[in-house]
Structure 1
């Protein structure tokens, strides 16, 4: 069963903002296959995020 793009668009726009954002991220990612470099950057970002959450590192405000 296929859904018309207009119907799908109406359904998506009716979703809460958090769900629309998650769907948008997945759609954008579907256009860009992951490379080894992208995966390495993602792992680094996740490690840094965990360091901040655990208190091992602190955020520094930008100027």
Structure 2
């Protein structure tokens, strides 16, 4: 492990989580304009069209969370 991380790894868990959140928020604020791959853009368009054609086939956020949690129980 990189020794520059050692002091951070010794922080209490809650402080490390807060640090990660702060770092993530700072990255989000930068709006670096990372490119989206064409294949990802095409997949998103395909999924959007499929959903618009069959809206009842979608799931609510609660259903998605429940499904994800059930896979890890």
Q: Give the TM-score normalised by structure 2.
A: 0.33
Q: Give the TM-score normalised by structure 1.
A: 0.37
Q: Which has the higher helix share?
A: 2
Look at both structures and tell me which one has the larger radius of gyration over its CA atoms: 2
